[in-house]
């Protein structure tokens, strides 16, 4: 499988990443191991998680996903075959709001390393910007961790365009670590925010974009077509907002393109993202090994200009 280099780093990643938010939520350790074995076995290598997945499940403490990944790394002995990306500064960490202070980051990284059973994290991402902590303090904390060998590269996720720009400017001015990746909400349904506010920044600074909610909480797979379908999955409650004229228009076009390419709406949705400028690896999850078939089909799909134009028109 052809990999893509994250500019200004030595990281080579496959063009699709696995989203670890399902680990310890909708699938248990056994099923998670099976999926990870197949995912890596097919040549994919980027696993994305966070230190607070999945705190929203009753009885969880928020470290479930990292623990499952760490147990799998220990069992599989494939640490050097994978790129581990995790996050800090999100909701649910110790029941707190987003926190980007030096103290919090330095405390949380050690917990993540313990859960992941590794001595370094390839990509450490700011999960949510608290918009209060000075960006120089946050970047200086990341610098300490890089110097200590605990993390290698950094990225940002939920951050305003203004704060992202400011962080990149401060990094250059004071020779601090610079964000190399951006993880925004971006999919065929939700395009406007990224394309209007972030895409130009990503191009200017060569940020590798790793989109989250790449399948719009499963809506773009085509399995949710009415309110009656929302009970199929625990994620169904997040899908109701997509049951609109626009959503149904997108599904109709996905069905048509999928039929033309003898594939599924899931694969077409992911392939559309892979074809977008600055996108290095959409992040998507699976709850069964057979779901990974769409991942494999997506990375090998060359959507025609006509197909891309129709998908673009349906989603605007």
Q: Residue 209: in which H helix or E strand, if any?
A: strand 208-209
Confidence class for position 229, pLDDT limits 50, 70, 90: low
Among 174, 198, 308, 199, residue whose Cα is nearest residue 254 = 308
**Three-state DSSP class for residue 179:** coil
CB contact burial 62-100 (16+ within 10 A = b; e otherwise): bbbbbbbbbbbbeeeeebeebbbbbbbbbbbbeeeebbb
Give the residue-averaged pLDDT of 136-152: 98
| 313 alpha-carbon distance from chain centroid | 25
Judge contact between 126 and 88, C-beta under 8 A. yes
Confidence class for position 238, pLDDT limits 50, 70, 90: confident
- Going by their DSSP bridges, the two strands 181-182 and 208-209 should be labelled as parallel
- In whole angstroms, what is the distance from residue 65 CA to residue 213 CA? 17
Superfamily of domain 4-183: NADP-dependent oxidoreductase domain (3.20.20.100)
Q: Tell me which DSSP letter residue 244 carries.
A: S
Instruction: Summarize pLDDT for 169-221 with one digit per residue, the tens.
Output: 999 999 999 999 999 999 999 999 999 999 999 999 999 999 999 999 999 99
């Amino acid at each position: 499988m052809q990999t893509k280099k994250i500019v200004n780093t030595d990281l080579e990643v496959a063009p699709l990443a696995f989203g670890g938010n399902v680990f310890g939520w909708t699938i248990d350790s056994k099923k998670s191991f099976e999926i990870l074995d197949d995912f890596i076995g097919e040549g994919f290598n980027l696993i994305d998680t966070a230190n607070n997945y999945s705190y929203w499940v009753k009885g969880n403490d928020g470290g479930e996903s990292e623990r499952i990944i760490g147990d799998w790394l220990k069992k599989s002995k494939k640490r050097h075959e994978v790129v581990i990306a995790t996050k800090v500064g999100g909701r649910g960490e110790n029941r707190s709001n987003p926190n980007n202070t030096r103290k919090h980051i330095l405390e949380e990284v050690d917990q993540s390393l313990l859960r992941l059973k590794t001595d370094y994290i390839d990509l450490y991402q700011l999960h949510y910007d608290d918009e209060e902590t000075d960006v120089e303090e946050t970047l200086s904390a990341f610098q300490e961790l890089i110097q200590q060998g605990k993390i290698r590269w950094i990225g940002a996720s939920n951050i305003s365009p203004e704060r992202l720009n400011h962080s990149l400017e401060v990094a250059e001015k004071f020779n601090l670590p610079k964000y190399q990746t951006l993880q925004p909400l971006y999919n065929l349904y939700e395009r406007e925010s990224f394309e209007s506010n972030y895409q130009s920044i990503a191009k200017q600074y060569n940020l590798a974009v790793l989109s989250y909610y790449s399948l719009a909480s499963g809506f773009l797979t085509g399995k949710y077509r009415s309110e009656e379908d929302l009970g199929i999955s625990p994620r169904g409650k997040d899908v109701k907002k997509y049951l609109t004229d626009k959503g149904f228009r997108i599904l109709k076009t996905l069905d048509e393109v999928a039929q033309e390419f003898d594939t599924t709406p899931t694969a077409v949705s992911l392939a559309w993202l892979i074809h977008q400028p600055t996108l290095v690896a959409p992040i998507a999850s699976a709850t069964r090994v057979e779901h990974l078939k769409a991942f494999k089909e997506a990375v090998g799909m060359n959507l025609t200009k006509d197909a891309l134009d129709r998908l673009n028109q349906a989603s605007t």
